[in-house]
């Protein structure tokens, strides 16, 4: 009796399955602000009006709602979350309320004192965006001279304090030639890494970032790189198909700077506002209607059921932004699925 029932990745998956069955939201991505101190060429986040952001008290109340709703993981993201003057008040409140805290940041505002405060939060992870192995490449993408040096220094400062750091990157044409060196750099520092080649349109519909996307030859190369796919020697690559609406469920949520609740920060279909509810369960019906509607419509979409379906990692949010429909074909997902199938056949 009494012993741990599950540990490690098995426990995480089991907890998410339980949460889905119980209708609980186990994880929330909390976009604290859209403001940022960098000007990344590929960034999809637009605008950023401090006057429209939730106040400190409203964010505190939102954290109360999340805690009362059973949410365990909270990821503070942005924009750049540390541009908020009350960032540490918010993060410290989250730690006090027993959340497992993740912070996604560009790291440029993390000096030694900030690193101390972050380490004291005992965060589960700090994800730091780095877009190249050299200052020239990274700073060229962030449009901010000196940002590479600051981001890397932040990663090292946090690692030196025992914080788990993940180097997060988007592989694009301007940094394609350096992604291998960036993996080496992350490993040398003792950081984890998560790279992705998906570039989104701006959330106001602007398509400029799409020009940075990898061409087919580059994408093909990344899809065959075991360091990126997670494939072990002699084993097939992990399945990528997560169903018609990826893994959308009420087990995860996105919260905007204004408090609007979305199934995901990439899928801006509002289900309510966290300032107007007592628990996330209050908006569950509206939430489920959106997810079940998207699932049904996508499954009925003839072009979704094509020969490459099992290689398809479509994102409904991306499909809506780029192709005009969350349930229709996603040109990016189709391109990647065809190349994955080709890689599998080799």
Partner 1 sequence: MSSRAEDRVFARAPECAFREIDGEAFIVSPKTGEAHLLNPTGSFIWSKLDGAATAGMIAEALAGEFDVGAETALADVSEFLDELGGLELVAEIGQEFNDVSY
Binding residue for partner 1, selected from 37, 134, 164, 273, defined by CB under 8 A:
164
Q: Does 113 bind partner 1 (CB under 8 A)?
A: no
Helix axes 216-223, 331-345, angle to 10 degrees: 60
| Contact criterion met (CB below 8 Å) for 252 and 73 | no
Q: Does 230 bind partner 1 (CB under 8 A)?
A: no
How many beta carbons lie within 10 A of that of residue 276, not counting itself?
Answer: 11
Q: Does 26 bind partner 1 (CB under 8 A)?
A: yes
Tell the smallest beta-carbon distance from residue 179 to partner 1 (Å).
Answer: 25
Tell the smallest beta-carbon distance from residue 31 to partner 1 (Å).
Answer: 21
Residue 20 CB partners (closer than 8 Å, separation 6+) = 249, 250, 251
Q: Interface with partner 1 by CB under 8 A: which range of 7-15, 214-222, 286-294, 335-343?
A: 7-15
In which residue are the tokens 């339980």 written? Answer: 18
Q: Does 187 bind partner 1 (CB under 8 A)?
A: no
**What is residue 117's three-state secondary structure?**
helix
Q: Interface with partner 1 by CB under 8 A: which range of 68-76, 131-139, 152-160, 198-206?
A: 68-76
Q: Among residue numbers 118 through 157, which ones bind partner 1 (CB under 8 A)?
A: 122-124
| Contact criterion met (CB below 8 Å) for 301 and 328 | yes
Q: Does 9 bind partner 1 (CB under 8 A)?
A: yes
Q: Does 15 bind partner 1 (CB under 8 A)?
A: yes
Q: Does 73 bind partner 1 (CB under 8 A)?
A: yes
Tell the smallest beta-carbon distance from residue 117 to partner 1 (Å).
Answer: 15
Classify each residue of 299-328 as buried b or exposed e, where b means 16 or more C-beta atoms within 10 Å of its C-beta.
eeeeebeeebeebbbbbbbbbbbbbeebbb
């Amino acid at each position: 009796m009494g012993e741990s029932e599950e540990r490690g990745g098995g426990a995480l998956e089991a907890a998410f399955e339980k949460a889905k069955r119980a209708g609980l939201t186990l994880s929330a991505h909390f976009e604290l602000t859209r403001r940022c101190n960098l000007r990344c060429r590929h960034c999809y986040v637009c605008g950023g009006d401090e006057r429209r952001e939730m106040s400190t008290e409203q964010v505190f109340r939102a954290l109360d709602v999340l805690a009362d709703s059973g949410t365990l993981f909270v990821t503070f993201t942005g924009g750049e979350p540390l541009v908020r003057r009350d960032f540490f008040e918010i993060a410290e409140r989250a730690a006090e309320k027993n959340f497992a805290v993740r912070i996604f940041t560009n790291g440029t505002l993390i000096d030694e004192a900030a690193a101390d405060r972050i380490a004291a939060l005992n965060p589960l992870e700090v994800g730091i965006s780095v877009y190249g192995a050299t200052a020239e490449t990274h700073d060229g993408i962030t449009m901010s001279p000196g940002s590479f040096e600051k981001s890397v220094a932040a990663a090292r400062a946090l690692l030196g304090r025992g914080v788990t750091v993940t180097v997060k990157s988007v592989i694009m044409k301007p940094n394609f030639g350096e992604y291998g060196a960036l993996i080496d750099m992350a490993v040398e520092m003792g950081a984890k890494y998560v790279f992705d080649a998906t570039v989104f349109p701006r959330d106001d519909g602007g398509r400029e970032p799409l020009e940075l996307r990898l061409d087919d030859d580059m994408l093909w190369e990344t899809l065959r790189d075991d360091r990126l796919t997670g494939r072990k020697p002699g084993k097939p690559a992990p399945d990528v198909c997560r169903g018609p609406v990826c893994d959308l469920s009420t087990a995860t949520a996105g919260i905007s700077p204004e408090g609007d609740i979305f199934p995901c920060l990439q899928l801006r279909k509002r289900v309510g506002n966290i300032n107007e509810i007592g628990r996330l369960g209050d908006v569950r019906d509206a939430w489920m209607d959106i997810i079940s509607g998207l699932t049904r419509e996508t499954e009925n979409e003839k072009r979704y059921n094509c020969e490459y379906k099992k290689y398809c990692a479509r994102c409904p949010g991306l499909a809506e932004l780029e192709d005009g429909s969350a349930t229709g074909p996603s040109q990016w997902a189709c391109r990647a699925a065809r190349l994955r199938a080709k890689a599998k056949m080799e």
